[in-house]
């Protein structure tokens, strides 16, 4: 199995403070990889570096063997990497359909087939096609953010805290969708504070603490690890 993403020595500083301290990660093609860690550990910074939103101090980030450090965010999207940002960030004064079309702004082909695919994944979006995105519930906005990202036809979809602020039942739905997307051949890089859910779906997992990778393994291995249970899963011996 080849690695679709290879991150080497990623170092990011904000105003002289190192947020990410030379991490190495691989994302095998076709898998769900999760990065778990506390708030401020460097998870979001890692995703923003991959998507070109943050300029690393130093790093090599290879996508299918091609260096992407230094490329602009739109170039990175057109290559096949897309980000579902934390907090959903839908356009509240545009309709559901308009939000989805924005996800395809770099494409020149017909969108109808993809819209139908998104509506099959998220029937609720179809029902609310002409509704303003700002009037949707939190769960529906998260579905819309994922749908919008899928409209760029990505090879890798990165998700920044998709379960944040959502009701437990909705969180279950979102994770089912993550697994469905992955089964259809899209590689997923997921960062989550909900370590329990993330590790259950992940093939490969990393733990990041204050900008350093402290542990890696399969999702199942980390789920069974005593240290992880105590630190992230709220379980005591």
Give the per-residue pLDDT at 79.
94
pLDDT for 66 beyond 80: yes
| Torsion angle, alpha carbons of 172, 174, 177, 179, to 10 | -60
231 or 55, which is more confident: 55
SS3 133: helix
Within the chain, strands assigned E span: 3-14, 17-28, 32-36, 58-63, 66-67, 81-84, 156-160, 187-192, 204-209, 212-218
Q: How far is CA 28 from the centre of its chain?
A: 15
pLDDT for 2 beyond 60: yes
Domains of the chain (ranges, CATH numbers): 3-87+153-232 (3.40.50.300)
pLDDT for 108 beyond 90: no
Average pLDDT score, the chain: 92
Closest C-alpha to 205, from 217, 213, 187, 197: 217
pLDDT for 118 beyond 90: yes
Q: Residue for token digits 């590790």?
A: 199
Angstrom distances, CA of residue 5 to CA of 22, 66, 93: 16, 9, 35
Give the per-residue pLDDT at 131.
96
Give the per-residue pLDDT at 235.
63
Residues 156-170: pLDDT tens digits?
A: 999 999 998 888 898
Position 236 confidence tier, pLDDT thresholds 50, 70, 90:
low
Residues 189-218: pLDDT tens digits?
A: 999 888 999 999 999 999 999 999 999 999
66: left (phi over 0), alpha (psi -120 to 50) or beta: beta
pTM of the full predicted structure? 0.91
Q: Residue for token digits 């992880």?
A: 228
């Amino acid at each position: 199995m080849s690695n679709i993403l290879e991150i080497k020595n990623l170092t990011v500083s904000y105003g002289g403070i190192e947020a990410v301290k030379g991490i190495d990660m691989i994302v095998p093609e076709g898998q769900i990889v999760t990065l778990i860690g506390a708030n401020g550990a460097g998870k979001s910074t890692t995703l923003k570096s991959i998507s070109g939103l943050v300029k690393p101090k130093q790093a090599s980030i290879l996508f299918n063997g091609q260096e992407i450090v230094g490329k602009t965010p739109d170039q990175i999207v057109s290559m096949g990497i897309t980000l579902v940002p934390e907090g959903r960030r839908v356009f509240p004064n545009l309709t559901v359909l308009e939000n989805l079309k924005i996800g395809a702004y770099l494409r020149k082909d017909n969108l109808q087939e993809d819209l139908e695919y998104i509506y099959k994944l998220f029937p609720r979006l179809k029902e609310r096609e002409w509704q303003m995105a700002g009037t949707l519930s939190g769960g529906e906005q998260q579905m819309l953010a994922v749908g919008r990202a899928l409209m760029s036809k990505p090879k890798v979809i990165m998700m920044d805290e998709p379960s944040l602020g959502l009701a437990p039942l909705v969180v279950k739905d979102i994770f089912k969708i993550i697994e469905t997307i992955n089964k259809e051949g899209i590689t997923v890089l997921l960062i989550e504070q909900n370590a329990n859910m993330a590790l259950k779906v992940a093939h490969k997992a990393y733990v990041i603490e204050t900008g350093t990778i402290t542990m890696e393994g399969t999702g199942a291995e980390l789920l069974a690890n005593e240290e992880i249970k105590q630190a992230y899963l709220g379980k005591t011996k």
